């Protein structure tokens, strides 16, 4: 019978890798023999297992190997990666290797090399000269690019879950609204401070409800305190923020009084027109037209931002990138070095951002609607903590912690 | 054609009563002639209209009259109320008048008298000697009770909505999660303070998520500040509160650390057993066994409470009223003089309480799940404000306002 | 005191226009005198009111007039519309009239003319020669365009709500999940058939959950029966549909078995690559590569479609318009003559479509998440019916009714 | 160092028991040595492991043992169970063993015996004479009862999850609304048919939305087909069902037309009065007053039912058990032999029922609100399948499958 031997290393038991591997073998009609198993006796000890896999046919064996490699198994005496040319611009070669967001290595000329910019659902392009491999999306591939096909010679490093050591890890992947949020928010503040101390970046993704719920001033304070490096948002955030700065209303409601303004529903359109008239947001700040709010704070404090458009936008506000591919490129270019992404009250932009982040980036997702959080947390990363709560109350509490810094 | 003339008084236009009345007439095949209309020129001026209603048959006319009376229309020269005897204990006479939660008057011997304890879905019992009328529920009616039947001689006073003057009124009946909650919470604090100043009572209805989310200490503080007169809750609130007081966990989670305790899932059962052993909660406080938490605070500060059981309960904790009818009676007995009911993270008990309250009692309903709020707000009272948010963050903010008092 | 006299026509009482107008006057410190009132005695009779409005200042009076005109009030002896030039490309003149989605008339040279393509949040451009006025969005306005400013000489026709005559009207604007859906779906089927009989168009807006829940074959059948004229969707619908047609899976799940496929999570990426290789979807149908599914049915049956991209997209599939403004233009160009828009399991595309539709277009919005429906229904149109239910079960039932046609 | 050796048997790897056990040991500061491990080579082969556990103190070791026993680990040479007397009626002895809903064995006089009626959160009473052990709830324990304390001599059999073989298992514990429901409903129908073929019972728990959404006739048909053995519901289901049978409305809405009835909101109260007048529901059927609906079908077809009251009830309808403890007893008495529980649109009664069921009973939970399903599924049983969908559309589809039987 066709067979192959694989090795697994890491926190085998703790991280459930071993049972998952055995389960995959059995699920696809294979059989296994555990040739060697060394289980670490303490948490930090690595484990090692060598498993011989048999399957009824070569094809079945290939399926099994493909699956177990996603759990980090390596084939003993695996050969080099297989390469093929991209047939056209924007088209991958048939059978191209589809990337994950995990740390990935490919074997070439007998040596393992890490793949740069790991990202979900792309292909791996190989630069034979420079000895570099990196992930491309469809729009980036050019005819003749040398791409990895099949799964031979590719190895991923699965995230290894350990028993939760803090509330952040404990809450990860849970979406209950009945959890003690105060403790989690405190821990998020701690994580943000720690990230800043080692020079990592904090990315905030914010939806328009940040303004509508009155959380704007808290986010402004967080920017002033230096805890925001990058802001991703859509047209609506900028519109409501600037409407609020210019007229005191958001969606026509006076935030300070919670009451509607006469003609308030026109204010957001007039805010767009006012900025279009002076050219763009930066110019509006320079001219003293825009004197408050989140966009103003970003410009004053050197926070980089990307405003990505959507088909539901009014206007748009100048500076909004209306082309989705260009917006993705602009966002991807800024995610390097981000240690923690705080996603608040934004569905579209949060999912788009999560698609671009490697698996080890921590994500904190805050939304009043559990369905939004479920979508993000379902990516399976246990680096994602979901909090079902209100944007204003969340930011107020978070910034109170950061302010004590 | 059968016809009848009705009068309407009040803020006719402002409160939409007039158009509703005309709409009802037309909907049920009637025709109308506006005999007299005097529209107040200022907000505070009362209006008056006299409308002649015609319908193709007496039966149609009766239907129309029945409907328009719910909007406060009075029939000119209406006769006295009609009475009949309850045929058995627990059974109303056929065609009994079904009550609303609005202020209600009945006409007897040519005079109008107010009905005591207005409450939805009951019948009106009439005490001929004492000249009193009040609302009975099924379980309260006795064979031979003199009850109102039909709708002749009954008049209700509809709530008259005016243009919102404050955020409380503006937010009423809206369930959006994208509203500026800070402003509303401030207004709720103001309403609570105002109610206390005039000697009205504050009722809190709290679900177990108040404990699980870590809001317990805030509610305790609110009790200590004297802003809670009555607490309605279920077995679960008492169990989680006492579990937290005795073992530091709620549902097995250490609230201070947000992490699970060893054997934590057993703690709620052990908490019940501990209280059962000493007899009841009050005794546990007296003996010094129970030294903290919401139930402890209620007992120390003389807050009256009703713990009403349900079929999903463990235990129950001693003092929980397991019979639904007895629990309703106990709750009803305490709702007199309540000006504002604050319902947090509780579906079952909130709806049960709302059923018992007259229409003019203000209700603030806080839940992370919009569906719970929709159910309460759909009762149609514009005295109900719904806030979709987290219990802990809500209470923290509310108590911060009350504490500054 | 400054004053002005306005006239209102229509189903004054029934549609609540009169009380709303009086309420606006009082809210903004005005006073009124009803000079004349003629209330129709039957439902179909028009009513008429003439109201003199006084306010403490000219400015207050202007505010009031602005508000009451939104309810359809006309100023007696109102002058012509005021015009101004657009200062730059993409910028409206200051104080431009912000359009609604209601039927709108402007008065020029003493005559009233209807504004073409009424749409929310645009400006009205006036073509002096051709005697035409129409609504422009920001991206369409050119320097020097003659635009309407202020509110003089503009009149809108409010939708006049009548007492519901059928379940469709009765259910409008309600978002309860506890309604008898069978009856509503039957009525939707009737409305679709009626629209087709008079030659009106049916627009379907569909999200990817249509595929994931297994509703695809039902929508295909609806297309084959000729009940779909236009389809609006995003990249994800096309990707999942074609993944399903090519590999039998959607998001890696075999729809027929409900079970995951080996390597299934890669299928959606391979589906995109396969279509990119042949050029586009139409070509894939022509070459016989794509033989089933919704996109295939659209192409075979001449259904026009717009696929609008977003930043959360993989790929995209060829044919997806990635620029938001271009996509809005493409969608706007196809909404003419649409009598009913059926929006299923799509948040982004549904809201974008609703923004483009005039107020009188009927919208049926189906989603399992009440929050999506609330957002659409909150537009305030009582032509929008929301159904909280599952896409597959909805379509199955709807198509069963249509099939019996 | 204190140490103890445990054994584990079963599908060690597949069911993740082994890693969970090792994880518990490490989490609580223990160390382990795997003395023996035999991993089954095929899915069906049992595995065996012998693990020596060390901990810094006896107390730590006890904690670890307590935890690993919940995963089914047995202590080698474990002694007999420890017993103590219940100190009062309704009170367990201190340190009593808190039961789970898993199959449980206790060791007495050197022999293992199974505990009857396994149920969560009770205690185990031991009948020394009769050699029987069973689970008691608080209300059932009497002073002097011989109860199990501590965890020595107690063994539970964890449910062993295997790789999903059918869509039912695959869907278990997932709460996505974007799943292909048609396939799952078909599988539910198959499970119901299989249960009936082997003589097992089907329990239906139904909320009032079953009536309001128009699903009543489908449930009636399911009863007529013989697929319902027991019905658990509340007062509201009975009230709406009988209102519908007597007056054609539910909550005042004509289900056939989806439109409200004149005075419809009074119908549910009149329905209660009508049944109270004749005595009870069974008598109303006997007298020919009640001729249709779910309650009628139950009585005609010998379906046993329990109507359990709550504090939010009107009435109640005669036959509703208003005391929560009595209702729990009545429900518990009927759950023996139930193989599958179908819970539709009911939160309170579903959770109450789930509390009473042993872990191996299959539960299908259908609700339009994902939060309800999350609560049930979070019990952790992978025998629970959640479907986020509409009651009417679910039942229509399910009964169509059952009808083809």
**Is C210 within 8 Å of C345 (Cβ atoms)?**
yes
Dist CA C207 CA C211 (whole Å):
8
Cross-chain Cβ contact B181/A392 below 8 Å: yes
Q: Mark whether B12 and B86 lie in a shared domain.
A: no
pLDDT at C346: 93
Q: Which domain range does residue B44 map to?
A: 1-77
Mean pLDDT, range C178-189, rounded to an integer: 83
Mean pLDDT, range A353-367, rounded to an integer: 91
Taking only the tens place, the pLDDT of each residue in C193-211 is 999 999 999 999 999 999 9
For residue A26, which residues of chain D lie inside 8 Å, CB to CB? 14, 42-43, 163
Query: CA-CA distances (angstroms) from residue C117 to C93, C131, C147, C333, D41?
Result: 20, 15, 15, 10, 71
The torsion angles phi and psi of B238, rounded to 5 degrees, stand at -60, -40
Dist CA B57 CA B155 (whole Å):
23
Tokens in use for D13?
């790897």
pLDDT at C42: 60
Q: Grade residue B91 by pLDDT with cuts at 50, 70 and 90.
A: very high
Q: At what angle do helices C17-27 and C58-69 cross, to 10 degrees?
A: 160
Mean pLDDT, range C169-181, rounded to an integer: 62
- A88 DSSP 8-state letter: B
Q: Mark whether D284 and D142 lie in a shared domain.
A: no
Mean pLDDT, range A272-278, rounded to an integer: 96
Dist CA C243 CA C237 (whole Å):
10
Whether A68 shows a pLDDT value over 90: the answer reads no
Q: Which residue has the higher pLDDT, D371 or C403?
A: C403
Q: Of A33, A61, A77, which marks where a domain is finished?
A: A77
**Is D134 within 8 Å of D116 (Cβ atoms)?**
yes
pLDDT at C75: 86
Note the helical H segments in D249-390: 267-278, 281-286, 294-300, 324-334, 348-356, 370-377
Dist CA C50 CA C75 (whole Å):
10
Mean pLDDT, range C383-388, rounded to an integer: 84
pLDDT at C258: 72
pLDDT at A161: 57
Dist CA D280 CA D300 (whole Å):
15
Q: Which residue has the higher pLDDT, B386 or A271?
A: A271
Q: Taking CB atoms and an 8 Å cut-off, how many pairs form between chains C and D?
A: 115
Report the residue from A33, A37, A163 with minimal CB separation from D23.
A163
For residue A267, the SS3 value is helix
Q: Which residue has the higher pLDDT, B198 or D29?
A: B198
Q: Mark whether D328 and D227 lie in a shared domain.
A: yes
Whether C354 shows a pLDDT value over 60: the answer reads yes
Q: What order of strands is seen across the sheet that includes strand C253-254?
A: C249-250, C253-254, C259-260
Taking only the tens place, the pLDDT of each residue in A362-394 is 999 999 888 888 777 766 555 788 888 889 989
Average pLDDT taken over every residue of chain B: 87
Q: Grade residue B143 by pLDDT with cuts at 50, 70 and 90.
A: very high
Question: Cα distance from C334 to chain D (closest Cα, Å)?
Answer: 29
Dist CA D230 CA D337 (whole Å):
11
**Pairing state of beta strands C230-234 and C304-308?**
parallel
Question: Cα distance from C132 to chain B (closest Cα, Å)?
Answer: 38
**Is D73 within 8 Å of D6 (Cβ atoms)?**
yes
pLDDT at C182: 83
Dist CA D96 CA D82 (whole Å):
10
- B139 DSSP 8-state letter: G
Whether D379 shows a pLDDT value over 70: the answer reads no
- Residue B316, judged by CB atoms within 10 A of its CB (0-12, 13-18, 19+), counts as buried
Does D335 touch chain B if contact means CB atoms closer than 8 Å? Answer: no
Beta-carbon contacts of D227 under 8 Å, excluding residues fewer than 6 positions away, are D192, D193, D196, D202, D402
b or e along C276-314 (b: 16 or more beta carbons within 10 Å of the residue's beta carbon)?
bbbeebeebbeeebbebbbbbbbbeeebebbbbbbbbbb
pLDDT at B146: 94
Dist CA B351 CA B346 (whole Å):
8
DSSP D106-155: EEETTEEEEEES--TT-EEEEETTTTEEEEE-GGG--TT-EEEESSTTEE
Q: Mark whether C90 and C181 lie in a shared domain.
A: no
Q: Mark whether A99 and A183 lie in a shared domain.
A: no
Dist CA C340 CA C361 (whole Å):
6
Dist CA A76 CA A86 (whole Å):
29
b or e along A28-63 (b: 16 or more beta carbons within 10 Å of the residue's beta carbon)?
bebbbebeebebbeeeeeebebebebbbeeeebbbb
Whether B75 shows a pLDDT value over 80: the answer reads yes
Instruction: Please report, for the domain that includes residue A223, its CATH number.
Output: 3.40.50.10690
- Highest-confidence segment of A148-152, A377-381, C164-168, D10-14: A148-152
Q: Grade residue C162 by pLDDT with cuts at 50, 70 and 90.
A: low
Lowest mean pLDDT among A30-44, A72-86, D61-75, D384-398: A30-44
**D51 membership: H or E segment, kind and range:** strand D47-54
Beta-carbon contacts of C83 under 8 Å, excluding residues fewer than 6 positions away, are C126, C146, C147, C148, C149
Portion 340-379 of C in contact with B at CB < 8 A: 370-371, 374, 378
For residue C274, the SS3 value is helix
Dist CA A228 CA D166 (whole Å):
48
Mutate to test the interface with D, among A14, A19, A52 (most CBs of D within 10 A): A19
Mutate to test the interface with B, among A183, A212, A251 (most CBs of B within 10 A): A183
Q: Closest Cα partner for A272 from A321, A212, A316?
A: A316
DSSP B78-131: --PPEEEE-SBTTBPPTTBPPP-SSEEEEEETTEEEEEES--TT-EEEEETTTT
User: What percent of chain D clears pLDDT 70, i.e. is strictly above it?
Assistant: 89
Mean pLDDT, range C323-349, rounded to an integer: 95
pLDDT at B305: 98
Whether D170 shows a pLDDT value over 80: the answer reads no
Q: Mark whether B295 and B174 lie in a shared domain.
A: yes
Q: Which residue has the higher pLDDT, A321 or C381?
A: A321
Mean pLDDT, range D202-216, rounded to an integer: 95
Whether B227 shows a pLDDT value over 60: the answer reads yes
For residue B283, which residues of chain D lie inside 8 Å, CB to CB? none
**Radius of gyration for the alpha carbons in chain D, expressed in angstroms and rounded:** 24
Q: Which residues pair with B230 in a beta bridge?
A: B203, B304
Mean pLDDT, range D203-226, rounded to an integer: 96
Cross-chain Cβ contact D310/B352 below 8 Å: yes
Does C1 touch chain B if contact means CB atoms closer than 8 Å? Answer: no
pLDDT at D184: 86
List own/partner pairs for C116-120 with CB under 8 A and 24 or more apart: C118/C358, C118/C359, C119/C332, C119/C355, C119/C356, C119/C358, C120/C355
Report the residue from C167, C181, C256 with minimal CB separation from D392.
C181
Mean pLDDT, range B288-292, rounded to an integer: 97
Q: Where are the beta strands (DSSP E) in C119-268?
A: 123-127, 132-136, 146-149, 154-157, 201-206, 230-234, 249-250, 253-254, 259-260
Lowest mean pLDDT among B289-293, C331-335, D51-55, D236-240: D51-55
Tokens in use for D390?
């509409």
Chains that touch B (3 or more CB pairs under 8 A): A, C, D
Dist CA B21 CA B72 (whole Å):
9
Mutate to test the interface with A, among C92, C99, C311, C334 (most CBs of A within 10 A): C311
Lowest mean pLDDT among A88-92, B179-183, D243-247: B179-183
- Residue C86, judged by CB atoms within 10 A of its CB (0-12, 13-18, 19+), counts as buried
For residue C305, the SS3 value is strand
Mean pLDDT, range C221-226, rounded to an integer: 97
In this predicted complex, what is the ipTM?
0.89
Report the residue from A90, A273, A328 with minimal CB separation from C92.
A273
pTM for the whole structure: 0.88
Mean pLDDT, range C160-169, rounded to an integer: 58
pLDDT at C207: 96
Q: Of C161, C190, C221, which marks where a domain is finished?
A: C161
Lowest mean pLDDT among C219-223, C322-326, C330-334, D387-391: D387-391
Q: Mark whether D379 and D234 lie in a shared domain.
A: yes
Whether B159 shows a pLDDT value over 80: the answer reads no
Q: Mark whether A72 and A101 lie in a shared domain.
A: no
Whether B54 shows a pLDDT value over 80: the answer reads yes
Q: Mark whether C179 and C283 lie in a shared domain.
A: yes
DSSP C314-355: SSPPTT-B-BHHHHHHHHHHH-TTEEEEEEES-SHHHHHHHH
Q: Grade residue C170 by pLDDT with cuts at 50, 70 and 90.
A: low
Report the residue from B167, B171, B214 with minimal CB separation from A180.
B214
Dist CA D139 CA B320 (whole Å):
13
Q: Mark whether C252 and C294 lie in a shared domain.
A: yes
Dist CA D323 CA B325 (whole Å):
8
Instruction: Please report, for the domain that includes residue A99, its CATH number.
Output: 2.40.420.10
Q: Of B77, B108, B136, which marks where a domain is finished?
A: B77
Q: At what angle do helices C391-403 and C181-197 cross, to 10 degrees?
A: 50
Kindly report the number of other CB atoms within 10 A of residue C107's CB atom: 17
Q: At what angle do helices C370-377 and B370-377 cross, to 10 degrees?
A: 50
Q: Mark whether B205 and B223 lie in a shared domain.
A: yes
Whether B63 shows a pLDDT value over 90: the answer reads no
Question: Cα distance from A159 to chain D (closest Cα, Å)?
Answer: 16
pLDDT at A241: 97
pLDDT at D377: 72
Q: Grade residue A305 by pLDDT with cuts at 50, 70 and 90.
A: very high
- Highest-confidence segment of A369-373, B334-338, C230-234, D149-153: C230-234
Tokens 């809450």 locate to A171
Q: Mark whether B113 and B54 lie in a shared domain.
A: no
- Positive or negative CA dihedral for A101, A106, A112, A117? negative
The torsion angles phi and psi of A114, rounded to 5 degrees, stand at -80, 145
Whether A287 shows a pLDDT value over 80: the answer reads yes
Taking only the tens place, the pLDDT of each residue in A179-212 is 678 888 998 999 999 999 999 999 999 999 999 8
How many domains does one find in chain A? 3
Q: Closest Cα partner for D390 from D325, D345, D356, D346?
A: D345
Whether D375 shows a pLDDT value over 70: the answer reads yes
Lowest mean pLDDT among A47-51, B328-332, D103-107, D372-376: D372-376
Chains that touch D (3 or more CB pairs under 8 A): A, B, C
In a domain, B260, yes or no: no
Taking only the tens place, the pLDDT of each residue in B42-52 is 656 677 888 89
Instruction: Please report, for the domain that includes residue C72, its CATH number.
Output: 3.30.70.2690
The torsion angles phi and psi of B188, rounded to 5 degrees, stand at -60, -45
Portion 147-176 of A in contact with D at CB < 8 A: 163, 175-176
Cross-chain Cβ contact C31/B41 below 8 Å: yes
**Is B340 within 8 Å of B326 (Cβ atoms)?**
no
In a domain, B346, yes or no: yes
Query: CA-CA distances (angstroms) from residue A77 to A4, A111, B13?
Result: 10, 12, 86
User: What percent of chain C clears pLDDT 70, i.e. is strictly above it?
Assistant: 89
Report the residue from D26, D33, D43 with minimal CB separation from A43.
D26
- D264 DSSP 8-state letter: G
Beta-carbon contacts of D162 under 8 Å, excluding residues fewer than 6 positions away, are D11, D14, D15, D43, D169
pLDDT at C332: 94
Dist CA B236 CA B308 (whole Å):
10
Taking only the tens place, the pLDDT of each residue in C38-77 is 766 665 667 788 889 999 998 888 888 888 888 888 888 7
**Pairing state of beta strands A47-54 and A3-10?**
antiparallel
């Amino acid at each position: 019978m066709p067979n192959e031997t694989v090795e697994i290393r890491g926190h085998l038991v703790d991280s459930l890798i071993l049972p998952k591997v055995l389960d995959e073998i059995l699920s696809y009609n294979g059989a296994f023999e555990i040739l060697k198993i060394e289980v670490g006796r303490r948490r930090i000890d690595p484990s090692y297992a060598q498993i011989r896999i048999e399957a009824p046919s070569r094809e079945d064996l290939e399926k099994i190997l493909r699956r177990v490699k996603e759990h980090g198994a390596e084939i003993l005496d695996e050969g080099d990666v297989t390469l093929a040319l991209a047939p056209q611009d924007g088209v991958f070669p048939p059978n191209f290797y589809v990337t994950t967001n995990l740390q990935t290595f490919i074997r070439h000329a007998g040596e393992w090399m890490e793949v740069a910019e790991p990202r979900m659902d792309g292909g791996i392009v190989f630069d034979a000269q420079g000895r570099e491999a990196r992930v491309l999306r469809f729009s980036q591939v050019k005819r003749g690019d040398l791409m990895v096909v099949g799964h031979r010679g590719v190895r991923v490093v699965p995230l290894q879950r350990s028993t939760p050591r803090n509330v952040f890890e404990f809450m990860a992947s849970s979406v209950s609204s009945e959890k003690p949020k105060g403790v989690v928010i405190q821990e998020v503040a701690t994580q943000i401070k720690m990230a800043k101390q080692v020079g990592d970046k904090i990315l905030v993704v914010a939806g328009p409800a940040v303004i509508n719920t009155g959380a704007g001033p808290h986010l402004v304070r967080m920017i002033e305190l230096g805890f925001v490096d990058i802001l991703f948002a859509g047209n609506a955030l900028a519109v409501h923020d600037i409407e609020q700065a210019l007229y005191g209303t958001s969606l026509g409601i006076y935030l300070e009084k919670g009451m509607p303004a006469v003609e308030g529903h026109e204010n957001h359109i007039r805010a767009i027109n006012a900025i279009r008239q002076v050219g763009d947001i930066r110019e509006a700040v320079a001219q003293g037209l825009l004197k408050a709010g989140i966009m103003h704070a970003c410009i004053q404090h050197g926070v980089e931002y990307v405003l990505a458009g959507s088909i539901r936008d009014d206007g748009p506000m100048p500076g909004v990138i209306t082309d989705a591919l260009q917006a993705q490129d602009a966002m991807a270019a800024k995610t390097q070095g981000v240690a923690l992404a705080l996603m608040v009250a934004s569905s579209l932009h949060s999912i788009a951002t999560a698609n671009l982040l490697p698996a080890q980036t921590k994500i904190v997702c805050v939304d009043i609607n559990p369905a939004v959080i479920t979508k993000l947390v379902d990516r399976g990363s246990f680096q994602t903590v979901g909090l079902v709560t209100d944007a204003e109350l969340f930011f107020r509490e978070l910034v109170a912690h950061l302010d004590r810094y």
